[in-house]
Amino acid sequence: MTLGAALVLGSVAPASAEEAAVPVPAEAPPSTRCQISDGRLAELSGLVAVGDQVLAVNDGGDEVAVHLLDAACQVVDVHTAAVDPYDPEDMALGPDGTVWLADTGDNNVNRPTVALLALRTDGTTSVYRLAYPDGPHDAEALLLAPDGTPYLVTKEVLGASAVYRPASALVDGGTVGLVEVAAVNITLTGTPGGPVGRAGQLMITGGAVSADGTHLALRTYTDAYVWPLSGSDVAGALAAAPVRVALPESPQGEAISFTGDNQQLLVASEGLPSDLTVVPLPQAVVAAGTPALGDVPSLTDLTRSGLSPITSAVIAALVATVVVWILGLVRRRS
């Protein structure tokens, strides 16, 4: 099956995480698995759990580098590629072992194209460029559906994020257009954390799909939102109400993954040392999953009601815009 064949034509009703996203307490509190202290991961932006090990990518640098961490958070291997990334923000793992990186960060919102990088087990790397239909966006969340379709979720200071997928099959070294298929609206939650004050509760910074294909998650600097997933209908899943799980406070939390048993979330933050934190999912969330339908292809074949007054959200967003702009000035690439 090609990516083009997997695409579903037609519009999809926008998702809204604000409609019924209520906090659901887990049966157990979060716990720290280990602490990341390696300087190469000072700007950790994406991770994927693989058994008791973790793949991690840093936000920055002049080459692609995927780090393998053991159960003690020690780097035991590094996979590099001769590609100079712009701003890698998230990652996902395909069923054939291909590592997908979302080089989609755009703090200044001026990139004509963004990219997906595919690092394969045979050592080859493909660069797939993507163009938004409505101009540049900053996106830090990648959702890789079980059928191999990638979805990008934008990061918005007002909490109204758009969800895009490729309009046709990916082209190695070429550019294809993106099409908007859903929207996710986040509101203020009161959960502390992040570098931009209350607006950190609104900004989507990472995403993940469980290895068994039954759930997907998006996170902000402060909270995680979890949806059941049926088949590979990511847009359809996002049209339902998610469960919100408050995350432990962290300085700049962007990375999220499901654990290998699909029963918990694994999260981490930029900054060193950084706790690799296990967040148990409420049993009701785990039970709500539906097994994925159909065969999963090899990815190498894919070529308003609010919780707070709106005025508070607007003020928080304005503050966040200034902070993000300042942070962009001090980054190597923004």
What average pLDDT does this structure show over 258-266?
A: 96
**32 burial class (0-12, 13-18, 19+ CB within 10 angstroms)?**
exposed
Torsion of CA 72, 74, 79, 85, to 10 degrees: 110
pLDDT at 323: 39
For residue 126, is pLDDT > 50? yes
Cβ-contact 221, 196 below 8 angstroms: yes
For residue 255, is pLDDT > 50? yes
- CA-CA distance, 195 to 319, in Å (whole number)? 11
Compare 27 and 324 and report the one with higher pLDDT: 27
Cβ-contact 88, 103 below 8 angstroms: yes
**43: CB partners within 8 A, 6+ apart:** 58, 59, 60, 270
Which residue carries 């640098």 as its tokens?
61
pLDDT at 17: 52
**96: CB partners within 8 A, 6+ apart:** 120, 121, 298, 299, 300
Domains of the chain, by residue range, sit at 28-295+302-330
Question: Tens digits of per-residue pLDDT, 324-333?
Answer: 433 443 344 4
Confidence of residue 143 (pLDDT cuts 50, 70, 90): very high
Question: Tens digits of per-residue pLDDT, 31-63?
Answer: 999 999 999 999 999 999 999 999 999 997 788
What φ, ψ does residue 3 adopt, rounded to 5°? -60, -40
- CA-CA distance, 102 to 87, in Å (whole number)? 8
- CA-CA distance, 282 to 295, in Å (whole number)? 29
- Mean pLDDT, rounded, of the chain: 85
What average pLDDT does this structure show over 53-82?
A: 95
| Distance linking the first and last C-alpha atoms of the chain | 36
**Model pTM score:** 0.83
Of 3.40.50, 3.40.1000, 2.60.40, 2.120.10, the CATH number of 28-295+302-330 is: 2.120.10
